[in-house]
Amino acid sequence: MSPQNLNTNCPPTWCPGCWNFQILAGFKKFLETQDAKNCAMVTGIGCAAKIFDYVNLNGLNSLHGRVLPVCLGLKVGNPKLNVFGFSGDGDAYAEGMEHLIHAARYNSNIKYLVHNNQVFALTVGQPTPTTETGFSDKTTPLGVKLPPINPLKIMLAAGCGFVARVFADVKQVDAVLKEAMSHKGFCFIEVIQPCLIFHPDTGYKEKTYNIQESGHDKTNFTEAMRLAEQFDYSGIKSDTRIPLGIFYQKEKPVFEEQLKR
């Protein structure tokens, strides 16, 4: 699909400099290698979901936390369709956590990207399940008291066959989607994208490194779990390291293919 045909008439309403622009550009770059007639996207609610308005692709802007059931319905209805889901961390890890766990279990051939800025940004800064302890806003003036969850560990434990994390960078988003397209089954891709307004970037990108370049074997589950534990979402410190890349990959029976029997 040509770059011109991917554009819509909707002007982006993200904040100037928002990392979501990088995710959008990376997704469009990836789509240039795909047949748009065979692709569909599903989004939820929040800043991440606005990507639906800026890509000329069939799909559905669904309810908060319900991206994955809609993706599953599309995939079962038309198994040949390439289905891409987009959520924010609140959408995926709060309202949508139950669906995320079962998406790993069903293993439908869906590519799911979670834009994680560790905050409900569209509703001006409330904490999400990945917000660090001590974060405060108008709804939590005494600060968050609970530790953040670690989504990568959860997805590994849930049996997800493709677990990856990238930073909000055009090349990284494009590259990981191309890797995901070659994988048969559910693909979980977390995209780190600090919110410039409500959860400012305090050096996240500078703390990242690529685990494939460091020699990680993506078939090694034990090592994948160890790497997932390396960043616990508790904020940036002097010794923080944020691993990026494909943590784990293993093909398993795909849900919609089993329905053919």
User: Which of the following CATH numbers is that of domain 15-256: 3.30.1490.20, 3.40.47.10, 3.40.50.970, 1.10.390.10?
Assistant: 3.40.50.970
Residue pair 84/36 in contact by the 8 Å Cβ criterion = no
The per-residue pLDDT for 167 is 98
The per-residue pLDDT for 227 is 98
- Spell out the residues 6+ positions from residue 21 whose beta carbon is closer than 8 angstroms to its own: 12, 14
Fill in the DSSP letter of residue 181: H
- So where are the chain's domains? 15-256
pLDDT in tens, 235-258: 888 899 999 999 999 999 999 999
The per-residue pLDDT for 188 is 99
Helical pair 170-181 and 20-31, crossing angle rounded to 10 deg: 40
User: Is residue 124 very low, low, confident or very high in pLDDT (cuts 50, 70, 90)?
Assistant: confident
Residue pair 81/53 in contact by the 8 Å Cβ criterion = no
pLDDT in tens, 221-241: 999 999 999 999 998 888 999
